[in-house]
Amino acid sequence: MPKFLFFTYIFIFGSMIGSFLNVLIYRIPRGLGVVWERSSCPHCNMKIPFYLNIPLLGFIFLRGKCRNCKESIHWRYPFVEFLLGCYFIFTFPAVFSPMSIVQWSLIVAIFSILVCHFFIDIDYHILPDRLNLGLLLVSSLYAFLFLNWKDAIIGGVIGFIFPFLISYIFYKLKGIEGLGGGDIKLWGVLGLILGGSGIIQNIFLSSLLGSVIGGSILLIKKENKNYALAFGPYIILSYLLQFHFARFIPSFIKLF
Ligand SMILES: [Zn+2]
């Protein structure tokens, strides 16, 4: 098969997963069961016919509007489909072997769950337990197969205990909850992949990103922009930086 055609298939596969993630992002925080049924317009509930439900192309055919009620379709839907398609291509292993395919599958599974976490946290300020549990399963398998499992356990323990203690002390001193339970669980799970020093880096880097980006959003918008306060997205962005672009992280952060 020509290389171009092969990667087109990988992209289409990724965007289909992205389309499914859109369903999860919509349904999980609303407490709706995740069932395999045709998507419907969130405004008028009209079922979307299968030929318009094709990732990305459906959005282009419809020119970003529901055919029934003419409400705009949120840009996030095609964005997530496009993002997943690109991620699937860029992470696809250069050397093809059964083991590299297993590794790739786990990496894209972790990414998929993190994408759901990212948008649900922005919308609802929660990192659902169901997703953290799924992430725990996939990360444990990844750490067991491909990483030093001792360092993975150390990372998991530090990722959970360290923020928990800070949060606890903060609570005792000030009477307010500094960190959400979901953030702490997410650090614990990502600690399995990042290892001991990696998770400390992540705590440092995400706090830095959170204060710089979150602070800027608050300043520019000049009003209390609620979404600036969700912390999960910074943990996730930091993880992706560490996992894929470690060489771009400033060395003062790597000291940890
Ligand atoms: Zn509609």
Please check the confidence at residue 37 and state whether its pLDDT lies above 70: no
- Can you name the residues that pair with 47 across neighbouring β-strands? 40
CA 79 / ligand 1 centre spacing (Å) = 19
Highest averaged pLDDT of the listed ranges 46-55, 101-110, 164-173, 215-224: 101-110
CA 144 / ligand 1 centre spacing (Å) = 46
Across 131-152, average pLDDT: 96
Q: What is residue 90's predicted lDDT score, i.e. its pLDDT?
A: 94
Please check the confidence at residue 223 and state whether its pLDDT lies above 70: no
Across 47-65, average pLDDT: 86
CB 180 within 8 Å of CB 231: yes
CA 72 / ligand 1 centre spacing (Å) = 8
Please check the confidence at residue 228 and state whether its pLDDT lies above 60: no
Across 206-220, average pLDDT: 86
Q: Which residue has the higher pLDDT, 38 or 133?
A: 133
- Can you name the residues that pair with 40 across neighbouring β-strands? 47
CB 236 within 8 Å of CB 117: yes
CA distance 250 to 124: 32
CA 37 / ligand 1 centre spacing (Å) = 17
Would you state the structure tokens that stand for residue 84, as one six-digit string?
């997943």
Would you state the structure tokens that stand for residue 56, as one six-digit string?
């990305």
3-state secondary structure of 72: strand
> 230, 251, 249, 247: which is closest to 238 by C-alpha?
249
Q: What is residue 47's predicted lDDT score, i.e. its pLDDT?
A: 83
Please check the confidence at residue 256 and state whether its pLDDT lies above 60: no
Q: Which residue has the higher pLDDT, 67 or 88?
A: 88
CA 173 / ligand 1 centre spacing (Å) = 50
Would you state the structure tokens that stand for residue 52, as one six-digit string?
């318009």
Q: What is residue 48's predicted lDDT score, i.e. its pLDDT?
A: 81
3-state secondary structure of 197: helix
Q: What is the pLDDT of residues 176-203, one digit of tens each?
A: 766 788 999 999 999 999 999 999 999 9
CA 77 / ligand 1 centre spacing (Å) = 14
3-state secondary structure of 40: strand
CA 40 / ligand 1 centre spacing (Å) = 8
Average pLDDT, the chain: 89
Question: What's the one-letter identity of residue 231?
Answer: F
Please check the confidence at residue 227 and state whether its pLDDT lies above 70: no
Q: What is residue 171's predicted lDDT score, i.e. its pLDDT?
A: 82
CA-to-CA separations, 31 to 27, 34, 198, 226, in angstroms, rounded: 6, 9, 34, 21
Across 158-187, average pLDDT: 86
Across 46-56, average pLDDT: 83
Q: What is residue 36's predicted lDDT score, i.e. its pLDDT?
A: 65
Q: What is residue 39's predicted lDDT score, i.e. its pLDDT?
A: 76
Q: What is residue 105's predicted lDDT score, i.e. its pLDDT?
A: 97
Q: Where are the beta strands (DSSP E) in 91-202?
A: none
> 154, 152, 127: which is closest to 140 by C-alpha?
152
pLDDT bin (cut points 50, 70, 90) of residue 75 is very high
Would you state the structure tokens that stand for residue 74, as one six-digit string?
């949120």
pLDDT bin (cut points 50, 70, 90) of residue 2 is confident
CA 2 / ligand 1 centre spacing (Å) = 40
CA 131 / ligand 1 centre spacing (Å) = 29
Please check the confidence at residue 222 and state whether its pLDDT lies above 70: no
Q: What is residue 127's predicted lDDT score, i.e. its pLDDT?
A: 95
Please check the confidence at residue 103 and state whether its pLDDT lies above 90: yes
